[in-house]
Amino acid sequence: GFNRAMRRFPMAVKRIMDVILALVLFCITSPVMLVTALMIRMESPGTALFHQSRTGFHGEPFTIYKFRSMRNDAETPGKAQWATEDDPRITRIGRLIRKLRIDELPQLINVIRGDMSFVGPRPERPEFDADLKEQLPFYMFRYLVKPGITGWAQVNYGYGASVEDALEKLKYDLYYVKNSSFLLDAEILLKTAATVFLAKGR
């Protein structure tokens, strides 16, 4: 079951690999992140870096970091909204950085801090989790591993903005939790890299 799968890919080994890769990529992509931050600030008012509460390992909340890809007034406080693929709240620069997955680069900080891994189920907002765990059996099992910057659901299903999409992605997430391994992580990272280089992101 799930516990046997996690023993096949020891968490300590994965953690060491995560930290090394995150530090290397942070150094390499620092110029890209600086330019991205300047472009966001030039296009629309507000901060370039966006932070939000997400559900993490074993259901514990943490603060996730991303580059802001939407207008600063995109959401009314206290009213969480799904983001859709052609969401009108997304700025022009935001659409570009989402397509290239550049908006996720600040999550290297989350990986270094230990909030996230490179590979794992994407962390959801607590507001959405509260609804989804009531509607989808075994939903919270996806948090038996650390959430990731990319995951099996992302490379196989892509973007989703509904309960129906969440159900389909959950199937991939649970497959990952049960079959987590170095080879599966490597496959996911290679597929993610191909998506970025071919500009086939969101």
**76-106 pLDDT, tens per residue?**
665 666 676 677 888 999 999 998 899 999 9
Output the pLDDT for position 157.
87
Output the pLDDT for position 11.
83
> Each residue of 28-37: pLDDT tens digit?
999 999 999 9
In angstroms and rounded to an integer, the radius of gyration of the C-alpha atoms of the chain is 16
DSSP letter at 66?
E
Break the chain into its structural domains and give their ranges: 2-197
Residue 51: φ, ψ to 5°: -130, 150
Q: Write out the H or E segment, with its range, that includes residue 153.
A: helix 152-156
Output the pLDDT for position 8.
56
> Each residue of 125-163: pLDDT tens digit?
999 898 899 999 899 999 999 999 999 999 998 777 677
Q: How many CA atoms lie within 13 A of 173 on its CB side?
A: 26
Q: In whole numbers, what is the pLDDT of the chain averaged over residues? A: 88
> Each residue of 162-177: pLDDT tens digit?
778 888 999 999 999 9
pLDDT over threshold 60, residue 2: no
Residue 154's closest CA among 129, 137, 176?
A: 176
pLDDT band at residue 4, thresholds of 50, 70 and 90?
low
Residue 149's closest CA among 179, 175, 113?
A: 113
pLDDT over threshold 70, residue 59: yes
